Amino acid sequence: MGADEVFSALSDPTRREVLFLVAQGRAQTATELAAALPVTRQAVAKHLAVLEDAQLVDAQRAGRTMRFRATPAPLAEAIVWMAEVGGQWDERLDRLRVAAQNRA
């Protein structure tokens, strides 16, 4: 999975909240997560499926129950991309600042 999948999965505010809750510690079920959110268990399950496709969460079966835990490694590629883009903008802004000072 790449940064595109991570950004796509995190583009939804409810999915970001689901990931935040899952990352808080112990593995949680969709039912437990739905109790903490203003959405149905079915909606949480759909959000978890998208997060799982992006490899941001991992599902583990415990009997008939699926428990989800955060797997933050896929965020690394997205963070690297953001740092590179941010660095490019910093360089551009520095050149702009120097050019503006030279004109003054």
Other beta carbons within 10 Å of 65: 12
pTM score of the predicted model: 0.78
Q: Name which of 18, 24, 23, 7 is nearest 41 in CA terms.
A: 18
Per-residue pLDDT of the chain (104 residues; tens, 9 = 90+): 678 899 999 999 999 999 999 999 888 999 999 999 999 999 999 999 999 999 999 999 989 999 999 998 898 888 888 888 877 777 777 777 877 888 87
d(CA 79, CA 57): 17
Q: Which residues form the domain of 53?
A: 3-103
**What is the number of structural domains in the chain?**
1
| CATH number of the domain enclosing 22 | 1.10.10.10
